[in-house]
Copies of this chain bind each other. A is one copy, B any other.
Amino acid sequence: MADQKLRIVATIKVKPESRDQNLVNAFKALVEETKKEEGNISYILHNDVKDPNTFVFVEEWRSPADIEKHMKSPHFTGFVGKLKAHLVAAPQIVTIRPLL
């Protein structure tokens, strides 16, 4: 079976007033739970060096099926629910396959 590994880059822009410890704690909880998922290889949250209100996840997954499972998980769906009120725009999510 060909290597099914995929990466996801997810860009999340929040309102300036939303960038507080509650939001950071919500991100932390999501990261901790996601890293426990069998199909997750890496799941790293970043800040845009030019904009502290822009967060970027760089994720690596074992297969498309593992991504689907993640997106149905309580910790992910719960996080998305909490995040909605804080968003400036819809998150930009791109799924990419390694080439070189």
Contact = CB atoms under 8 A, between A and B. Distances in A.
Contacts of A58: 7, 9, 58, 96
A50 interface: yes
The number of chain A residues touching the other chain, given as a range, is 20 to 34
A82 interface: no
* Interface of A: prevailing SS: strand
Contacts of A79: none
A99 B24 CA distance: 10
Nearest to A28: B100
Please indicate which of the listed interface residues A7, A46, A95, A96 has the most CB atoms of chain B within 10 Å of its own CB: A96
Contacts of A7: 46, 58
A22 to B, nearest CB: 15
Interface string A70-100: 0000000000000000000000001111111
A44 interface: yes
